[in-house]
Amino acid sequence: MNTQAARQDFPILNRKINGIPLIYFDNAATTQKPRQVIDAIVDYYTNHNGNVHRGVHTLSTEATDLYESAREDTAKFINAKSPSEVVFVRGTTEAINLVAYSLGCSNLGRGDEVLVSLMEHHSNIVPWEILSKCKGFTLKYAKVHDDGTLDYEDFESKITAKTRIACLSHVSNVTGVINDVKRIGKVAHENGALMLVDGAQSVPHMRVDVQDLDMDFLAFSGHKMLGPTGIGVLYGKKAILQKLSPFQGGGEMIKEVSYGQERCSITWNELPYKFEAGTPNIAGAVGLGAAVKYLSDLGMDNVFAHEKELTKYAVERLKECNNITLYGPRDLSKKCGIIPFGLKGFSSHETAALFNEYGIAIRSGYHCAQPLHQLFKLESSARASFYIYNIPSEVDRFVEILKELEG
């Protein structure tokens, strides 16, 4: 992968912060957008803006073609069997909530169990906690080792005949740990349970094949993979999605509403439209489609290799610094391009603010994963995260500033 050539596609990398060229190390929060994505969105609004599925005029037809083409490209990107298994949502959070409420309201109750891990993003904890209080099912938590890796034995031991769904992040947004979701899914299926995978930090960075990994559900966000905000995907196996009730009601998700005997009878639309109530984020889908094409052209194996190489280089350089602590596993084969750390004498927010003075964007706080920080006995952490446009010289500058801050 020609990283220097790819960098030319990102206009924001020409930006200066405090008069200093921007170094963007906050990619786990959101990624920057290439011209190809920006241009696709502008072209849609300039030449093709219309509502989808409902009109026979030219603009509506063109908008529908663009929208459905993005669905087809996304389905191919994750190797779904059919585009009908790809539901467009606002992002990973809405995708997980869709599964939680569609499954929970109709199929979960007292005596049932849902299993998640302690490394999950709040989006894969909070909906289940809310529903468990409403529906009476039991929510169980699998343990995480002190280095941030999953305790597989504990997770698997807690999957029982009562488990209805197991939920696990493919990659931790705090440590970058890569979880063997195929292994966990196999145990879940052997016990008659479903498997939901939070792919927000995996789909943008590595090849994800939903058929090979045998996922029942996969949730991910467009804005973390070069696409716009406000668009994401829920992948679900067709047979499972057909059995679930809709998450929201309104236009597009119904096939027929008929009135009689003072009530309306409703027939749901076919997949995936049953789960896409109202006018969708058409421009967002168009932008996501362009992002998928961009990443496909780069090759996801190349993307993954670049990040692994850069992460290895960064960790080696960071060993030169005396006053920082790296969190998470030391075995780099188990993680992606996310490096959580602490700088002695500074809070994570102070650390991020200091780096911003030098034009470097990093993250600070809990990263929406407080239980994992409690495990690490941390108030918060700073986080540097890499993507396709980051280069070794940026890491060198990062380390140089760390040494200056050490005094």
Same domain, 144 and 172: yes
Domain-terminating residue out of 270, 296, 322:
296
pLDDT of residue 375: 86
- Contacts of residue 143, Cβ cutoff 8 Å, sequence gap at least 6: 117, 118, 151, 154, 155
Same domain, 165 and 91: yes
Residue 372 to residue 382: CA distance in whole angstroms: 14
Residue 63 pLDDT > 80 = yes
Q: Identify the CATH number of the domain in which residue 95 sits.
A: 3.40.640.10
pLDDT of residue 16: 97
Mean pLDDT within 176-198 = 98
> Is 134 considered catalytic here?
no
User: With contact defined as beta carbons under 8 Å apart, do 207 and 301 qualify?
Assistant: yes
| Residue among 115, 143, 118 at smallest CA distance from 128 | 115
pLDDT of residue 203: 98
Domain-terminating residue out of 263, 296, 329:
296
75 φ/ψ angles, rounded to the nearest 5 degrees: -60, -40
Residue 407 pLDDT > 80 = no
User: With contact defined as beta carbons under 8 Å apart, do 86 and 235 qualify?
Assistant: yes
Number of structural domains found in the chain: 2
**Letter for the amino acid at 270?**
E
Residue of 134, 167, 264, 368 marked catalytic: 368
Same domain, 9 and 100: no
User: With contact defined as beta carbons under 8 Å apart, do 367 and 381 qualify?
Assistant: yes
Same domain, 351 and 386: yes
- Contacts of residue 387, Cβ cutoff 8 Å, sequence gap at least 6: 27, 31, 32, 204, 205, 307, 337
pLDDT of residue 255: 72
| Residue among 306, 276, 285 at smallest CA distance from 227 | 285
**Within a domain: residue 257?**
yes
Q: What is the pLDDT of residues 81-110, one digit of tens each?
A: 999 999 999 999 999 999 999 998 889 999
Same domain, 280 and 191: yes
**Within a domain: residue 227?**
yes
Task: Give the residue numbers spanning the domain of 346.
Answer: 3-25+299-406
Q: What is the pLDDT of residues 108-137, one digit of tens each?
A: 999 999 999 999 999 999 999 999 999 999
Same domain, 319 and 202: no
User: With contact defined as beta carbons under 8 Å apart, do 158 and 187 qualify?
Assistant: no
pLDDT of residue 106: 85
For 111, counting Cβ atoms within 10 Å of its Cβ (0-12 exposed, 13-18 middle, 19+ buried), the class is: exposed
User: With contact defined as beta carbons under 8 Å apart, do 327 and 175 qualify?
Assistant: yes
Same domain, 262 and 314: no
Mean pLDDT within 175-199 = 98
Same domain, 318 and 283: no
**Within a domain: residue 30?**
no
Residue 268 pLDDT > 90 = no
**CA angle centred on 277, ends 208 and 40, rounded to 5°:** 55
Global pTM reads 0.96
**Within a domain: residue 343?**
yes
Q: Which residue has the tokens 């669905």?
A: 71
| Residue among 390, 286, 225, 204 at smallest CA distance from 38 | 286
Residue 376 pLDDT > 90 = no
Same domain, 275 and 182: yes
Same domain, 381 and 263: no
* Backbone torsion region of residue 82, taken as left when φ is above 0, otherwise alpha when ψ lies between -120 and 50, otherwise beta: beta
- Contacts of residue 404, Cβ cutoff 8 Å, sequence gap at least 6: none
Residue 401 pLDDT > 90 = yes
Q: Take residue 406 and report the two structure tokens written for it.
A: 């050490």
Q: Identify the CATH number of the domain in which residue 14 sits.
A: 3.90.1150.10
Mean pLDDT within 303-319 = 97
Same domain, 370 and 329: yes
pLDDT of residue 141: 98
**Within a domain: residue 325?**
yes
- Mean predicted lDDT score pLDDT of the chain: 95
**Within a domain: residue 32?**
no
Mean pLDDT within 151-174 = 98
